[in-house]
Amino acid sequence: MEPQERMTLPKPPAVAPVVTGTATSRVAPKFPVVILLGSLFISTVGIGFVVPFLPVFATELGATGFALGLIMASFSLSMVVTQPLAGSYSDRLGRKFFLVAGLAVYSVGGFLYVLNSSVVDIVLVRFLQGIGGGLIFSVSMAYMGDLAPEGQEGRYMGVYNVTMLSGFGLGPLLGGVLKDTFGMNMAFYGMGLSSAIACILVLFLLPESRTRDVRAESQRLFAVFGEILAQTRTRGILLIRFSVMLSMVPSFIFLPVLMTQVMDASGIQIGMVITVRTLVSASLQYPFGWLADRHSRVVMTVASAFGMAVVVSLVGLSTQFWHVLLLFGLLGFNEALFMPANSAMILEGGRSHGMGATMGLLNTAMTMGMFVGSLGAGLLVDGFGFRIAFMLIGVIVALSASVSVPMMTATPRECSSSKQIGPHIPDAPP
């Protein structure tokens, strides 16, 4: 069955994705999925080379806790602006251009790290790479959503998440080997090269895909965003995504520094902890995606969010390497439970409002969580130290997630009062 056929809705559809280009006429229908996920895997492995060790590198240049937060916040700030625009315009102009441009920017940024000599330099490069990330992540999710059959959103987003997390999981371990063996610069070179290879694959092999959105052609850009955010259920989905990102930030920014200063951990040990987390999450994405297609996505989302809040709090009490290793395995389990269920719920709305615009808002919520979490966690670390900061972050995540529960469980009447367009979609497909 061709991707266009799978996405056709029985009633007059507002959105009908199409995959164009000669590639689709010569190859099996799964070819776009293979190229998309393959290129993303290569690029995320390269990103993983650097991300866990960048805070250590910045600390060696004199970065404080707030400066470490600012490094991540600069990345988030540029993504916040880029993602919704890239997602929405890709509905009209096609996905491929944005993916190629984003991977090219990421590649250039990887090589620029070698020239960094101050914290300010790192902040500027991270800001540039945030633009690249804004072009890549929301558009790649929208492309995957274009191909997902109705009722199988959880499984398709599970496969997408497996690819992303496997790359992020393998990257830190390989990056730790590169760093310990050849120095930090080799990890930077690896990041730039891998993104360049992924860019070439997308440019020459990935068919074009776009969503023909009848409303998008006649409405202003921000009117589409307003329609999406008018739905109570959607606001709840975005809010809990924001909350969960608050718990993810400390693991990427402050965990490497905590392990280095408190546990005297090596680069390989830091890479192992992050790899265990991401590989556990990756291995469970598809089965939990299958589960999300058959059971309550709201229950899965809420339970996993509170689980992550507890685990992050316990990280603050860790004193040995194996403590962190075990906790990050549990964190990966909860992430695997959360991501396909939450992504599938937002993907449902993408069918009626434009997949790119909807995924752009989802990723914007994630990025805002990264931005607020980066600066907030930096202030907490400077004010209370690593241990207290992790525990406070866990409490904040739990409180934020609690607010989203009544919004996600809004009844059809409540959703329609919020100007919902189209029929209410049940929590899980029948």
CATH topology of domain 27-417: Growth Hormone; Chain: A; (1.20.1250)
Residue with tokens 């690249």: 132
Helix, strand, or coil (residue 211): strand
pLDDT mean over 8-21: 43
What single-letter amino acid sits at 304?
A: S
Contact 338, 301 (CB under 8 A): yes
Distance CA 403, CA 415 (A): 17
Task: Using pLDDT thresholds of 50, 70 and 90, give the confidence band for residue 102.
Answer: very high
Phi, psi (rounded to 5 degrees) for 420: -65, 140
Quote the mean pLDDT of the chain.
Answer: 77
> Is the pLDDT confidence value at 22 over 60?
no
Task: Using pLDDT thresholds of 50, 70 and 90, give the confidence band for residue 428.
Answer: very low
Distance CA 134, CA 368 (A): 12
Cα–Cα distances (Å) from 258 to 49, 198, 254, 292, in that order, read 19, 33, 6, 35
pLDDT given for residue 202 in this prediction: 93
pLDDT given for residue 219 in this prediction: 52
Q: pLDDT, tens digit, for every residue of 74-92?
A: 887 888 788 888 888 888 8
Instruction: State pTM to two decimals.
Output: 0.67
> Is the pLDDT confidence value at 184 over 50?
yes
Task: Using pLDDT thresholds of 50, 70 and 90, give the confidence band for residue 374.
Answer: confident
pLDDT mean over 172-186: 81
Percent of the chain with pLDDT over 70: 82
Cα–Cα distances (Å) from 228 to 234, 237, 262, 339, 351, in that order, read 7, 11, 45, 20, 11
Residue with tokens 């389990």: 333
Enumerate the domain spans of the chain: 27-417
pLDDT given for residue 169 in this prediction: 72
Distance CA 255, CA 30 (A): 38
pLDDT given for residue 210 in this prediction: 60
Higher pLDDT pick, 319 / 299? 299
Distance CA 423, CA 133 (A): 33
Length of the chain: 430
Task: Using pLDDT thresholds of 50, 70 and 90, give the confidence band for residue 251.
Answer: low
Q: Which of 246-255, 308-317, 377-386 has the lowest mean pLDDT?
A: 246-255
> Is the pLDDT confidence value at 420 over 60?
no
